[in-house]
Structure 1
Amino acid sequence: MAEPDDKIEEQQPEVTADTPLIESVSEDVSVEVGDFIQQAAEQNEAAAEAVPDVKNKPGPYISFEHVYKSFGEFVVLEDVSFYVLPGETLCILGRSGVGKSVSLQMLLGFLKPDKGMIKVAGENICGFGERELQEIRRKVTMVFQNGALFDSITVGENVAFPMRERGEMAEDQILQVVKGLLEMVGVAGMESLLPSDLSTGMKRSVAIARALASQPEAVLYDEPTTMVDPLMAHLLGDLIERLKQQLHLTSIVVTHDMRLAKKLADRVVFLSAGKAIFFGTMEEMERSRDPILQEFLALDELVTPV
């Protein structure tokens, strides 16, 4: 039976967005994990510097440029444009069925736009073949809403999978990093459990650990706080913010959770009826007089009062 999310809180001391990631890691693996984290942070800083400038300003790590996508007669995205600068977090907001998750799938090349351009790390990926897309997926990884863990192998083997696939680390190093990453995301000591033994919140945490094991330059989060309790949502939000700050990760978060968006977002894009009706900061969105945005914000206040 899956364990409750509140067990996660019991396993580690109170943390905030400013708490160093390595503080959660056991002393016996701290050196190996610290080196792994430092390597990831330096890689992401270098990746940010490598993105081509646009008009003498830092260029976006990810961008949608006039993107269209339909399924038959159903229009999902119509002339949608937005961008994410290196090391920043974009939140994609909007009601269900407006193309939020479809946008993430197109970023990874699982779906192709009908028209427009999608760039990752300065490269237009729309014409990429599967081999080139595999290289993009090494740079950009996704934390799916259901975790998308391999059900038939243990938690530890799930997290180890990206490192074993790369073949660059000795097995004892991999095991140390696995232990440290699980401690870092708040699910210490769960290496031998199967995904079916975990609660929804725990699966999300393990999925984040597995994403970090691939040392990505960007992470896409699909509804990370859906179907978890408020405490777990708070812990996941803090974790995502710490990863951004300390690993210099570029992030896109699809969410209905306005509290999470207010915590994380450098910018937000709001999708409605296939179009991006707003792209800017959260403060600018809250000042907008657009009736659709005002209705969304008003309903959110009713659902999640402060």
Structure 2
Amino acid sequence: MMREREPDVPEQIPGEDSPLTADVSPEVADVVEEFMTEAAEQNEAAKESAVVPGKPLPYISFEKVSKSFGDAHVLQQVSFCVLPGETLCILGRSGVGKSVSLQILMGFLKADSGKVRVAGEDICGFTEREMQGIRRKVTMVFQNGALFDSITVGENVAFPLRERGDLGEEQISQVVKGLLEMVGVAGMEDLLPSDLSTGMKRSVAIARALASQPEAILYDEPTTMVDPLMGQLLGNLIERLKRQLHLTSIVVTHDMRFAKKLADRVVFLHEGKAQFFGTIEEMERTNDPVLREFLALDELVLPV
């Protein structure tokens, strides 16, 4: 059995304010800078357009969404929203519908009832073809990376670039190299996904997501089964993407420390319901016994 390659975590983990292209090789820096600037301008324009007088419109929202599998009521009239450029963390114990919520947003599952809006559109009645248009704006980083196993890391990241049809192979090669350097896995182009550790697969999956120049990225448990240094690298990267590319983000996590680092707001799911929706500060002031137990447990299992 092939042993997973250990991640090459940088000795100096880039800070939250470090420019995304700070570690990109000089020979590809101009092409990558242009690519990232285009993405940032696109997302800023989308953010500015999603406004009615005096009030931003949600980029993503659940409105009384329910989902069951047989007799198991996974989501029961769950409501929350995410504003353009905002990061929402979905919290809760295992099996409460966190990942199911992401799959509904991506159209992989259909809600039984309620309204689901993504990029300003109610997607509940969308066909698979219509959802493909949504997935060009919103992409997802799965726990396992969901990389194509039979092609190299470089080819995985190049896939959405080739789908665009407006870039030459030299440009694609330069953008791929730069994106991999940006997410901390430089020089991995010729490896297969099976050669990578769990954390590296997630970094490559983020690079592939960025290659599609999305308006929003959904992250499913990005720090599960990775070492603390890789978790810190991924957390800083997600925060930098939000600030510098104006990305809208949803992060599913059970880790309150990670949520405190990233979240503008959180939704806490418990027994199929949204037990809480608001800021971290509001959550920490609550007297709700379920929330107090969750916060206390997190402090117990994740000591400083």
TM range (shorter): over 0.9
The offset of 1:72, in angstroms, is 1.1
Partner AA of 2:43 in structure 1: N
User: Size of the alignment, in residue pairs?
Assistant: 302
Aligned equivalent of 2:269 = 271
Aligned equivalent of 2:50 = 51
Structural mapping, 1:56-95, within 5 Å: 56-95=54-93
2:26 paired with 1:27: yes
1:142-163 C-alpha deviation (Å, 9 max, x unpaired):
0000000000000000000001
TM-score by length of 2: 0.98
Partner AA of 2:187 in structure 1: G
Aligned equivalent of 1:9 = 10
The offset of 1:26, in angstroms, is 0.5
* Structure 2: distance between partners of 1:61 and 1:168: 27
The offset of 1:49, in angstroms, is 1.9
CA contact (8 A) 1:138 1:216 kept: yes
1:142-195 C-alpha deviation (Å, 9 max, x unpaired):
000000000000000000000111212111000000000000000000000000
Cα RMSD (Å) = 1.0
Partner AA of 1:22 in structure 2: T
Aligned equivalent of 2:40 = 41
* Structure 2: distance between partners of 1:278 and 1:269: 6
1:209-246 C-alpha deviation (Å, 9 max, x unpaired):
00000000000000000000111101100000000000
Where do 5+ consecutive residues of structure 1 fail to align? none
Partner AA of 1:33 in structure 2: V
* Structure 2: distance between partners of 1:195 and 1:207: 10
Query: Structure 1 14/113 Cα, relative in aligned 2: closer, same or farther at 3 Å?
Result: closer
Aligned equivalent of 1:173 = 171
CA contact (8 A) 1:67 1:78 kept: yes
Three-state SS of the structure 1 residue aligned to 2:10 is helix
State percent identity of aligned pairs: 75
1:64-113 C-alpha deviation (Å, 9 max, x unpaired):
00101111111010010000000010000000000000000000111111
* Structure 1: distance between partners of 2:26 and 2:189: 18
* Structure 1: distance between partners of 2:181 and 2:117: 34
Pick one of 253, 256, 269 that aligns with 2:254: 256
Partner AA of 2:86 in structure 1: E
The offset of 1:46, in angstroms, is 1.1
Pick one of 127, 130, 135 that aligns with 2:128: 130
